[in-house]
Structure 1
Amino acid sequence: MKKNIYKITASALLVAILATGCAKTSNTDSSKNTSSNTVTEQNTDEAANTGDTSETEETTESSETVYPLTIDAYGPDGEKYTQTFTEAPSKVITNNPSSTDLLLELGLEDKIIGIMKPDNAPDEKWASAYEKLTVLGDKMTMSKEVIIGAEPDFIFGRTMPFNDESMGKIDDLNDMNVNVYTQLASNFVIEQSLDNVILDVRNIGKIFNLNEKANTYADSLQTRLDAIREKVSGISETEPVKVLFMVTYVDGTFNTFGANSTLQREMLKTINAENVLETGTSSLTSENLVSLNPDVIVYIKSDRNAETDKTAVESLLNDETIKSVPAIENEKIIKLGYDEVMDYGVRIFVTLETLYDFIY
């Protein structure tokens, strides 16, 4: 049964604060670090688009991590914080499903001491595992005090929550001897590439000294990505397919979804497609849909909109005012889950393959 921790005792917080007397494990100046093993991430626009997933000064063939290991984490504004790991983490908090899924994939369930409450039901593959995990609270109300009170030594997840209003800034967490790894794929500052998802897998393997397992998994993802790129290579010169991400279609009105981060854009670009409305907009009408004229509609479903989602596609197909829209006329509407589109982990490869098969 899930456990929910929304409050911490004063004594637990005191213990966490007293822990700062230990040596700091990270700093923001990589030039001061003398670690014998450094993981270098893609952190420039040029590097992010090279497709190069080589991430260490050593080759990825090394089966053992040499500690201390240094690796960079990035804050919401792109600021870099160099983290130093003297051993594999043992008390981990994740802040989104894809981070949790990856740790489960690598067999690290017993290391996870807390997760954020998922927005949607977990992937069927991990449903039973999620039932055993401790839920620390909702992502909308999470606080640094709750995080510190759980006494983690490592936090893994997307970049945005690492601020004073949520999980705390990375340097403040470092002062509490808590290391952080933020998914490169969630970094809005750099130009994105699907290769960054693969690089995240390899880097987590390094951190936990599970290099062989992580690299095998990463290689399988690379093979899948290369296969899609090869399929698309023959049609890449044609006009991109126009895709509209949509939520909550009811009685001729709908919202477009803000699936406009560079990662989602790159996903579409990989299959020679483009988003017709990259800025999420509320309360659009059938007339707006006609003017957008998408070839394909991706209807994003979620647990919170379950009642609306039941009839949305049928309603779209029966709306006479939009029957000339190619996506409606050709019945090119596909329903995908929120986490399959908007999370920053390996589910994006399933979505990529699903969209390719659906479009072509």
Structure 2
Amino acid sequence: MIKNLAVIFSVALIYSTLIISCKQTNKTEPDKTNINKYIGEDKKTIYPIEVISYDSNGKPVTQVFEKAPSRIITTNLSAIETLLELGLGNKIIGTTKPDNEVDGKWKFAVNELEQIGDKMTTSKEIIVGKSPDIIIGSAKGLTDQYLGSLSSYNAMGIKVYTQSASIIQNNPKLTTIIDDVRILGLIFDVNVAAENYAMQLEQIYNGVIDKVSKKKTSNRLSLLPMVAFDSEKKSYSSFTVSEGLQLDILNTLNIKPGIEGASLNNNYENLIGINPDIILYIKADRHKKLDDVAIDFIKKDALLKHISAVDNNRIYTVTYDNFMDYGARNFATLLQLYESIYGK
């Protein structure tokens, strides 16, 4: 398990380095789909439509839809849950296995979907064999090495919509999740349902912004995202919150990253040196045994008692899917953190 975790974080670190290089040269606004151009007065989609999708390198690729797709393959939980919110569950013919045991509103609906395999091992041939007319999910896994590239699917007549919120090269904000909702509404001609759902998410987002503006001070607390704390080795790892959706969550809450980038196998000396005001412990099924004892151990360890987060009882927990995915769960985490830090 630990070996697998090391591999995962090593890949994440390499990926983050590549993204930084991309962001230094990509200073233009990302291409966006003109939704209003294709919606009639009756709120129905006027086909054909052109939708901007992105490949794994952040390159925009136009997808043309002559009609609403009817056979969907999804590659992550946030895509599934968004489609379910829009009433499109009956169109999902298969999905890759969720990273973690699913909880929440759509638990049973998600578990009833056919799983076509793990996202790290499922081949393009398996996906094509299901005869989808569209694939929806994160851009990260859509490479020839893993699930297959956007261009290779397009060459076979299969459309691909990659979530705008997953295009890290564009440094996405939380509002891109809402953009994805409206674009999916356009693609599948469920614009009214999409607009209603988008407005719900906007209400949460704008509500937190308004509340924080009334309570924030010039002293920004620092947050360390911690994962896989090992009480025996006294080590931990960390995801990056220096870009994308995670940074936007912090900025919205007037919080700053405790560290820049992601890191693997940090020690006590490192943690004490960072001295974060907040520890956000991210739980995942793959290291459940570590997670079960981590928080209690950190709170009781004599060497860590003077860390600001421990001393001020600011250790909060969140699941991987609620913090690192690309959907409504990110807004739930935003609200959870606001209430934990500022009060209800």
Pick the TM interval, shorter chain: 0.7 to 0.9
Q: Which residue of 2 aligns with 1:209?
A: 189
What's the CA shift for 1:89?
0.8
SS in 2 for 1:335: strand
SS in 2 for 1:216: helix
Aligned residue identity for 1:79: K
**TM-score, normalised on structure 1?**
0.83
Give distance in 1, aligned partners of 2:310 and 2:118: 37
Name the one with the larger helix percent.
2
**TM-score, normalised on structure 2?**
0.87
Give distance in 2, aligned partners of 1:162 and 1:56: 28
SS in 1 for 2:264: coil
Residue segments in structure 2 that go unaligned for 5+ positions in a row: 1-25
Q: Name the CA shift for 1:54/1:70 in 2 (closer, same or farther; >3 Å).
A: closer
Moved more, 318-327 or 251-260: 251-260
Matched, 1:277 2:259: yes
Give distance in 2, aligned partners of 1:209 and 1:306: 41
SS in 1 for 2:120: coil
Moved more, 60-69 or 246-255: 60-69
CA displacement, residues 148-192 of structure 1 (integer Å, 9 cap, x when unaligned): 111100000111111111222212211111111111110011132
Structure 2 residue corresponding to 1:66, chosen from 43, 46, 65: 46
Give distance in 2, aligned partners of 1:54 and 1:269: 28
Report sequence identity in percent: 38
What's the CA shift for 1:124?
2.6
Matched, 1:342 2:324: yes
What's the CA shift for 1:279?
2.1
What's the CA shift for 1:62?
5.1
1:78-89 mapped onto 2 (5 Å cutoff): 78-89=58-69
Structure 2 residue corresponding to 1:120, chosen from 87, 91, 100: 100
What's the CA shift for 1:68?
0.8
Give distance in 2, aligned partners of 1:293 and 1:313: 16
Q: Which residue of 2 aligns with 1:32?
A: none
Structure of greater Rg: 1
Structure 1 residue corresponding to 2:154, chosen from 174, 188, 191: 174
Matched, 1:249 2:229: yes
SS in 2 for 1:124: coil
Structure 1 residue corresponding to 2:315, chosen from 328, 333, 348: 333
Verify the 8 A CA contact 2:120 2:147 in the aligned structure 1. Answer: no
CA displacement, residues 40-98 of structure 1 (integer Å, 9 cap, x when unaligned): xxxx86657xxx99743356975100111110110111111110111111110011100
Residue segments in structure 1 that go unaligned for 5+ positions in a row: 1-43
* TM-align CA RMSD: 2.0
Give distance in 2, aligned partners of 1:126 and 1:297: 28
Structure 2 residue corresponding to 1:233, chosen from 213, 223, 227: 213
What's the CA shift for 1:146?
1.3
Verify the 8 A CA contact 1:53 1:195 in the aligned structure 2. Answer: no
1:137-156 mapped onto 2 (5 Å cutoff): 137-156=117-136
What's the CA shift for 1:259?
4.5
1:1-360 mapped onto 2 (5 Å cutoff): 47=29, 55-57=35-37, 63-236=43-216, 238-251=218-231, 252-360=234-342
Aligned residue identity for 1:57: K
